[in-house]
Structure 1
Amino acid sequence: MPFNLPIFLTWCRIVLIPMFVGIFYLPEHWLPMHDKNLFAAACFALAAITDWFDGYLARALGQTTSFGAFLDPVADKLMVAAALILLVKLGRTESWIAVVIIGREITISALREWMAQLGKSKSVAVSFVGKLKTAAQMLAIVLLLYAAPLVSGVDTLYFGEWLMFVAAILTLWSMGYYLRVAWPQIKQG
């Protein structure tokens, strides 16, 4: 297994998952809910930043590896799925949204693996709509984890719910895009 700074950041992202989830299982007298929300939102935001940063560093430093290309999306999927399940449990997002987003991630991951076996992985590379979906989703999750008004009085729950709905729409749109691109290979079986 190769080890470099981008892969280290990806592993850090994976380690942050049980931290931001586990914080909600601490007794209230150890840590009040506001502090749990703040800590979880900060952990998730840090993980989301490392998601962007590790890819940037891998390309900039010439440290792209096949293991890193495998581990990075796995870390992303685990992070988002854990956050969505937690948000459903906390009553901060709808279960149908979590099912749509997690279902899309599983579907497109399987599609990409299948297309790679066919030697067509470039045809299902990340699209602009996919990047937009990820940005909306990550920001929505941070806002919903924080779940308190910002200094300027911005209602993070309201904007987080709205952004999560936008992320769900973009999720379906991007899934449709990837399936349409792969349709010629799907028809061939």
Structure 2
Amino acid sequence: MEQSIQDQQQKHMPDDQQKTRITHPSRVITLANLLSILRAFLALPIVYSLARDRIVLAVLLVLFAVVTDWLDGYFARRAHEVTDLGKFLDPVADSIAIAAVVLFLSLDETRNFPFWFFIFYMIRQLTIALSGVYMLNHSHLVLGSNIIGKWTVGITALAILLYIVRMENFGLYLILVSTVLASVSWIQYLLRNFNPKIQS
């Protein structure tokens, strides 16, 4: 209820006040946002571990990234710090981490990771990001991930784990499931962005 009132108040704010609310330090430096940023940077040690064939470390880092994805949402709701920046950072962090690891796996000829999934994933994320920027500029709304999108991230992470431990057959099955879910959430997100009735 409190969040709904705040959202209504934001709609009636002048443009400069709305931007201040998004960029004010108290709305930026939150534990949830820091966890999202950490998750994005975890892509580097994960890829490094894979390049050095340190499978156990890579698996642990992926699992840690998954845990941070759950924790940032938990802490944001628990501390009543669900911010526009947080809604933006969460999927961006997921995109960076997943894209980096998927690109490495798809270029590793020994793992048979489907490169088409990387292309599909990047096109999806790019269109979602561009539509999100459009909505922020035109209606000052930042829409968070939908539930199917969250399931997509989880299944994709599990598929990545299976490819890391070289269980490619099971991993491919999950990649196909993830592609279907990603397509559905993609359509839903675009509809929410450009349909005022769905936004409300």
Residue 10 (structure 2) aligns with:
none
Residue 6 (structure 1) aligns with:
32
Residue 113 (structure 2) aligns with:
93
Give the aligned length. Answer: 168
Residue 17 (structure 1) aligns with:
43
Q: Extract unaligned runs of 5+ from structure 1.
A: 27-32, 148-155
Q: Give, as a single letter, the amino acid of the residue that structure 2 aligns with 1:113.
A: V
For structure 1, which segment, 11-20 or 49-58, has the greater mean C-alpha deviation from structure 2 after superposition?
11-20
After superposition, the Cα gap between the structure-2 partners of 1:114 and 1:170, relative to the gap in structure 1 and judged at 3 Å, is same
Residue 21 (structure 2) aligns with:
none
Residue 56 (structure 2) aligns with:
38
Query: How much does 1:66 deviate?
Result: 3.8
1:61 matches 2:79: yes
How far apart, in 2, do the equivalents of 1:16 and 1:99 lie?
21
For structure 1, which segment, 81-90 or 135-144, has the greater mean C-alpha deviation from structure 2 after superposition?
135-144
Q: State TM-score, norm by structure 1.
A: 0.77
How far apart, in 2, do the equivalents of 1:181 and 1:70 lie?
15
How far apart, in 2, do the equivalents of 1:179 and 1:4 lie?
28
Residue 77 (structure 1) aligns with:
95
Query: How much does 1:120 deviate?
Result: 7.0
Q: Extract unaligned runs of 5+ from structure 2.
A: 1-24
How far apart, in 2, do the equivalents of 1:137 and 1:64 lie?
25
After superposition, the Cα gap between the structure-2 partners of 1:7 and 1:184, relative to the gap in structure 1 and judged at 3 Å, is closer
Confirm or deny: 8 A CA contact 1:100 1:171 kept in the other structure.
Answer: no
After superposition, the Cα gap between the structure-2 partners of 1:179 and 1:64, relative to the gap in structure 1 and judged at 3 Å, is closer
Residue 160 (structure 2) aligns with:
141
Q: State TM-score, norm by structure 2.
A: 0.73
Which has the higher relative contact order, 1 or 2, with Cα contacts under 8 A spaced 6 or more apart?
1
Query: How much does 1:19 deviate?
Result: 0.4
Residue 171 (structure 2) aligns with:
160
Identical-residue share of aligned pairs (%): 27
Residue 5 (structure 2) aligns with:
none
Confirm or deny: 8 A CA contact 2:35 2:72 kept in the other structure.
Answer: yes
How far apart, in 2, do the equivalents of 1:71 and 1:19 lie?
20
In the alignment, which of 121, 130, 135 is matched to residue 115 of structure 1? 135
